[in-house]
Amino acid sequence: MDLGTSNTSTLVVVALGLAVLALALAVGGYLRLSRTQARHRILWAGAEKDLVAVLSHQASQIVSLHAELERIRTQVSRTRGDLQQSLRHVSVVRYDPFGGTGGQLSYSAAIVDDRGDGLVISSFQARGESRSYAKSVVGGASEVKLTPEEQQALAAARTGKDAE
C-alpha cells in the first residue's frame, strides 16, 4: 500500500466524519429553532413577523394603555370630587311638636354632602295647619338656630347613624 493512498483514505474518512457531524449539528440547530419559533408563535398571533416588530407593537400598546390608565385616574378623581359634593347623607326625625295633638306626622330631614353642606327641611303638622321650613347648612352648622330635632337629624346625617 502506498503512503499517498493511506493519507487519502484517512482524509476521506475524516472529511466524511466532519460532514456527518456538520449534518447532525444542522439538524439539531433546525430542531432547536423550530421549538423556539413554536414558543414565540403566541407573540406573533399567527402572522409572520420578526421579534423586533412584535416588541415594537407591544411597546406602543403599553404606552397607549398607560395613557388610558391616566385618563381613567383623572376621571375617577373628578368623580370623587363630584361625589363629595353630592347630597347623599340623609336622615329623618319624626316627632310630635304639639304634645299629642298631631301624632308623629311632623318631621325634620337633613340632607348634606361629605363636608356637611346642604339643608334641613322641617314640616310641622297640626290639626288645622301645616308649616314647612328649610334652613341652609354649611360645614355642619346653620346661620339660623336649629331645633333639637333638626340638630338630631343633622347629626345623624353627618355620622351615618340612625337618628334616635
Give me the tens of pLDDT residue by residue for the chain, a chain 164 residues long: 566 678 888 889 999 999 999 999 999 999 999 888 777 766 666 566 677 777 888 899 999 999 999 999 999 999 988 888 888 899 999 988 777 665 778 899 999 998 899 999 999 887 778 889 999 999 989 999 999 999 999 999 998 776 55
CB neighbours of residue 126 within 10 Å? 13
The DSSP-derived string for 103-124 is: TT-EEEEEEE-TTS-EEEEEEE
pLDDT of residue 98: 72
CA angle, residues 74, 158, 120, in degrees to nearest 5: 105
Question: Can you give the residue ranges of every domain in the chain?
Answer: 1-46, 49-85, 89-159
pLDDT of residue 74: 95
pLDDT of residue 87: 85
pLDDT of residue 151: 93
Grouping H, G, I as helix, E, B as strand and the rest as coil, residue 136 is strand
pLDDT of residue 101: 62
pLDDT of residue 161: 77
- To the question of pTM greater than 0.85 for the whole model, the response is no
Distance of CA 136 to the CA centre of its chain: 35
Grouping H, G, I as helix, E, B as strand and the rest as coil, residue 8 is helix
